[in-house]
Structure 1
Amino acid sequence: MRRRLVLGGMVALAGMRPALAAPRLRLMMVRRPGCVFCAQWDREIGPVYASRPEGRMAPLFMVDVEGPYPDGLALDRRPWLTPSFILLRDGQEVARFEGYPGAAKFFEVLRIMLDEARRSA
């Protein structure tokens, strides 16, 4: 059993969701002001992310590395490197990639993360 760091004010209980609801995948981008690689991601990927199949499978939201983080978010460890991309299923970390691999590799890495999420479902 992996230990989880629960961030935010409320603790979400694992597995507590309506029986008929599908697990919701989201991609959290952790960033910090002045991060040159975050700015590069903003220019290269940001404008097209939501229109890509990967972006529709895992809608993106962004948080500052210092927070605040959504309540009840369960992560393997607190992010410190920016950008970090953390794939979440119902607020639980499924996969993580730290750093920006560049425009040519970003969606390939994200597809690997999404495949890992499918395998662990």
Structure 2
Amino acid sequence: MRWTTAFICLAAMLAMVVSAPLRADAAQLVMMEQPGCPWCARFNEEIAPAYATTEEGARAPLRRVDITGPWPQDLAHVAIERFTPTFVLVEDGREVGRIRGYPGDEFFWYLLGDLIAKLDETEAE
């Protein structure tokens, strides 16, 4: 019985952490996607499984937004793309940059590195 109670408490705590919204000023990599997008599927196979475990994923967690659904209020300042996937790096309520399309795993990491470097430049100012 004690294990069940401990497990339920742990599960509830984890659920709160996972579902907690990011701070408004935290960096995020917003992925605009839509059902049936073959390039989104390729990204999901090649990058998504490991993204959260990378330095980039720690710095700018991936946030997915389906462009066929309602647009999130907190992203009102981000222009919606009809081309998917599009990745938008957002921090402090502003768009830092975007990657239109998925250019393959190596080039994606290169382009994302350039965007992350822009974050570092703005923090140094």
Shorter-chain TM-score bucket reads 0.7 to 0.9
Shift of residue 22, structure 1, vs aligned partner: 9.6
| Larger helix proportion of the pair | 2
Residue 69 of structure 1 corresponds to: 71
- Which portions of structure 1, spanning 4 or more consecutive aligned residues, are displaced by more than 2 angstroms? 66-70, 117-121
Q: TM-score, normalised by structure 1?
A: 0.75
**Match in the other structure for 2:44:** 42
1:95 counterpart SS class: strand
* Larger fraction in strand: 1
Gaps of 5+ in 1: 1-20
Residues 1:54 and 2:47 aligned together: no
Q: Which has the higher contact order (CA 8 A, sep 6+)?
A: 1
Q: CA RMSD in A?
A: 1.8
Q: Deviations over 1:50-108 (max 9, x none)?
A: 00101100001101112323213212x32111000000013321111100010121111
- What is the TM-score of this pair, normalised by structure 2? 0.72
**Count of residues in Structure 1 that have an aligned counterpart in Structure 2:** 100
Equivalents in 1 of 2:93, 2:47: separation in Å? Answer: 23
In 1, Cα distance between the equivalents of 2:81 and 2:95? Answer: 12
